[in-house]
Amino acid sequence: MLFTLEIHYEQDVVQARQRTREIAEQLGFDTQDQARLATAVSEIARNAFQYAQGGTVEFSVAGEPQAFLIRIQDRGRGIPHLAEVLAGRYTSNTGLGLGIVGTRRLMDFFEIESLPGQGTTVIMGRTLSKRTLSFTDSQLQQIRETMIKRSPQNPYEEIQQQNQELLRAMAELRKREEELTHLNLELEDTNRGVVALYAELDEKANSLQKANELKTRFLSNMSHEFRTPLNSILSLSRMLLARMDGDLSAEQEKQVIFIQKAANGLSELVNDLLDLAKVEAGKIEVRPSSFEVSNLFGTLRGMLRPLLVQGSSVALIVEEPDNIPPLYSDEGKVAQILRNFVSNALKFTEQGEVRVSAMQTGHTVTFSVSDTGIGIAVADQERIFEDFVQIESPLQRQVKGTGLGLPLSCKLAELLGGSIAVRSELGQGSTFTASIPIVYPYTTEFLSIVQPIASIELTRLPILVVEDHPETLFIYEKHLQESIYQLIATRTLAQARQVLQQVRPMAIILDIMLEGQNGWTFLRELKGDEMTRTIPVLVITIIDNEKQALALGSDGFLIKPVDRLPLLNKLNTLINQDKAQKILLIDDDPAYRYLMKQLLVNTPLTILEAANGREGLMLAQHEQPTAIVLDLEMPEMSGFEVLKQLQNNSLTRSIPAIVHSSAQLDAQAQSRLAKQSIAILSKETSSQAKAIAQLQDALVRAGLVLDA
């Protein structure tokens, strides 16, 4: 929140206009946008004063990309016929609605809600200019302090400035009218020539298209044709160097090595040409799948370390990614882009380091490869993405390259829905970045990731999610994996209503900011219906309007983006509030049962104990615990048999189980246990803090509320 202003008197409307212009100026808006914002706020604030005798104006910056948001709220009688007002069909002697329609046209974002007898809330805003860097919390705090300290101007000065703006606007309109008259005369003279030019351009475009297709076909065919003789040359050179048909003299060995190096360079060129030809022809396939950035980096470490010269003074550092969700994209193509970046960085860095890192920015992951090499001049930073371009430098003569790696990386990033950028300074090194969407935007398979209604698992609790962004749906699905909850994804309110006719979810996650739809109306609908009133609703959105959400009946509120544990904790609290939480420990070793109780001493749980499998099954059936922590190696009845009998009993089938054992498990046993339990924990944990963290994480996934 940047600033809040109460409207009690007419001069407060003028002050709201002043403050809007001042904050807009601080946020980098140009003079014209400042006037638009000030005019819009003045109009809505005047409505609040005139029809509701006052209200509040709140200024904030939120969202990704950042936007300047203004929230104006009053407690008046509400606006009758709001739908007709917004459609432009309502007419009134008081002018009601004309300002609202005009204000909506001035804003990038406009949302209005009016309830009879409860007042009207308007949220509107404009996205910050792309030329403006994102504001940090400290910068926003500085703006906030400036606004608090600054005293309001004289209202007459504001009116005078408004009149000057109107005079400037009228002069500008008169000037543009004269220019348009002159331009129309010129257009009439040139229109016939333009028609002829379009015909000629169409003909040339067709010729260029045919030439491009011929070039692509030629590159593709020739690349294939080159491969056979190249493979033969490489195979024969390896045979000669292996002395399969006799020894070589030192001079002959040197000659064969030169042949092999030349063939390897030509093979690299052919492969790059073939990849480029496939991309340009639209024949390259994107095979999206879910993968972890940490696993991708692990593979890259092994592949790229051999590129370092023995005894090199260059260090290759691959940073461990932190809190990055899984990507649903083509892992091979992302790896190919990063390999090209790192290969170039190592070629043009004589000493220092090459650093690979990744960070999440909104719905994308930005991969960075930074080096301390020779750098690239500003004039050459666009040329390096052109085919076959190699910038002249002392190191260029020593290293080999095709000049196709960066152009190919650029095309691959665009194919994945992303982009590539470079920052560099001569002598200071370079940083290449690839921004890749978390979810491949052109996939038709994404919805299959989410379980359809027909395949809801009886042992998992359904959670209905209403969210129109596929990236956010993908993240929610990953958050709920390996928990007691199962996601039912809907992207429209109509789909959500259809699901509610077939399934009663344990909770509903609702995004208010749905494109072309009113999430507030749906929230009121849910809480006003006898059939859905008791279903907990968790509102998750980008704007901090928690008070409004709770006032309309929401049971919980979170701001995007949401991490896994806060989301699960919130769901557990909403679903299990006021329910007794019992955990059953089944372990034949009393020392381990005592240790487990010590680990859980600070949690609000009732702990039950069973010294063997049969006693555990009996307690599970009679006590119906919230979760079971189970050892595998027990006399008479093993943990495997206990799990089997728990699942075969309708009374205990839905109780989540956590395996806690020191047994060494093979891949087959782990796969079987993963289907029967929430988590598999080892008793051989290095520290108590780690053991507590792992156990609490598993209990949260099992649906328990651990906050006292």
The reply to whether omega before 437 is within 30° of 0 (cis) is no
Give CA–CA dist 342/304, Å, rounded.
8
Pair 149, 35 in one domain = yes
Pair 394, 470 in one domain = no
The tokens describing 393, both together, are 């430098």
The reply to whether omega before 561 is within 30° of 0 (cis) is yes
Pair 429, 464 in one domain = no
* Residues spanned by the domain of 590: 582-701
Instruction: Judge whether residue 44 has pLDDT over 80.
Output: yes
Pair 128, 238 in one domain = no
Total domains, the chain: 5
Residue 649, pLDDT score: 87
- Banded pLDDT at 466 (limits 50, 70, 90): very high
The residue-averaged pLDDT of 460-486 equals 87
CB atoms within 10 A of CB 461: 19
Closest CA to 496 of 476, 526, 516, 460: 526
Instruction: Judge whether residue 31 has pLDDT over 60.
Output: yes
Quick check: is 168 in a domain? Answer: no
- The CATH number that applies at residue 321 is 3.30.565.10
Give the full edge-to-edge strand order of the sheet including 461-466.
485-490, 461-466, 507-510, 537-541, 556-559
Residue 95, pLDDT score: 55
Quick check: is 180 in a domain? Answer: no
Pair 47, 121 in one domain = yes
Quick check: is 684 in a domain? Answer: yes
- Please, what is the end-to-end C-alpha distance for the chain in angstroms? 31
Closest CA to 44 of 128, 93, 111, 127: 111
Q: What is the pLDDT of residues 129-182, one digit of tens each?
A: 877 778 888 888 888 888 887 765 555 555 656 666 666 667 777 777 777 877
Between strands 429-437 and 419-425, the pairing is: antiparallel
Partners of 366 in the β-ladder: 359, 435
Quick check: is 478 in a domain? Answer: yes
Partners of 71 in the β-ladder: 58, 123
Quick check: is 172 in a domain? Answer: no
Pair 247, 389 in one domain = no
Task: Mark which of 437, 467, 500 sits at the end of a domain.
Answer: 437
Buried b / exposed e over 2-37, threshold 16 CB at 10 Å, is bbebebeeeebbbbbbbbbbbbbebbebeeebbbbb
Report percent pLDDT > 90 for the chain. Answer: 14
Alpha helices for 242-309 (secondary structure H): 250-281, 293-304
Structure letter (DSSP) for residue 292: -
Pair 339, 470 in one domain = no
Pair 517, 570 in one domain = yes
CB 230 within 8 A of CB 263: yes
Quick check: is 186 in a domain? Answer: no
Quick check: is 187 in a domain? Answer: no
Quick check: is 264 in a domain? Answer: yes
CB 12 within 8 A of CB 56: no
Pair 532, 610 in one domain = no
Q: What is the pTM of this model?
A: 0.50
Give CA–CA dist 80/82, Å, rounded.
5
How far is residue 82 from each of residues 45, 98, 115, measured CA to CA in Å?
17, 12, 10
The residue-averaged pLDDT of 345-363 equals 87
Task: Mark which of 576, 609, 630 sits at the end of a domain.
Answer: 576
Q: What is the pLDDT of residues 263-298, one digit of tens each?
A: 766 666 666 655 555 555 555 677 888 888 888 888
Range name among 191-205, 526-540, 574-588, 622-636 with the lowest pLDDT average: 191-205
Pair 566, 600 in one domain = no
- Banded pLDDT at 122 (limits 50, 70, 90): very high
Give the full edge-to-edge strand order of the sheet including 3-7.
3-7, 55-62, 67-73, 119-127, 109-115
Task: Mark which of 377, 407, 437 sits at the end of a domain.
Answer: 437
Q: What is the pLDDT of residues 613-652, one digit of tens each?
A: 899 899 999 989 989 999 888 888 888 899 889 988 888 8
Pair 13, 140 in one domain = yes
Q: What is the pLDDT of residues 424-456, one digit of tens each?
A: 888 889 999 999 988 887 765 544 444 455 566
- The CATH number that applies at residue 623 is 3.40.50.2300
Give CA–CA dist 166/80, Å, rounded.
32
Partners of 13 in the β-ladder: none
Which of 68-72, 190-194, 585-589 is most confident?
68-72
Question: Residue 315 in 3-state DSSP?
Answer: strand
Amino acid at 655: I
Give CA–CA dist 578/654, Å, rounded.
20
Pair 455, 541 in one domain = yes
The residue-averaged pLDDT of 219-229 equals 57
- The CATH number that applies at residue 228 is 1.10.287.130
Closest CA to 385 of 367, 351, 412, 353: 412
Q: What is the pLDDT of residues 476-510, one digit of tens each?
A: 888 888 889 999 988 888 889 888 988 899 999 99
Q: Match 């009133």 to its residue by tokens.
A: 533
Question: Residue 136 in 3-state DSSP?
Answer: coil
Instruction: Judge whether residue 72 has pLDDT over 60.
Output: yes
Closest CA to 338 of 373, 310, 296: 296
The tokens describing 170, both together, are 């009228």
Partners of 420 in the β-ladder: 434
How far is residue 489 from each of residues 56, 100, 550, 707, measured CA to CA in Å?
37, 34, 23, 28
Q: What is the overall mean pLDDT for the chain?
A: 81
Residue predicted with more confidence, 37 or 323: 37
Residue 450, pLDDT score: 46
Helix (H), strand (E) at residue 207: helix 155-241
Range name among 364-373, 653-662, 663-672 with the lowest pLDDT average: 663-672
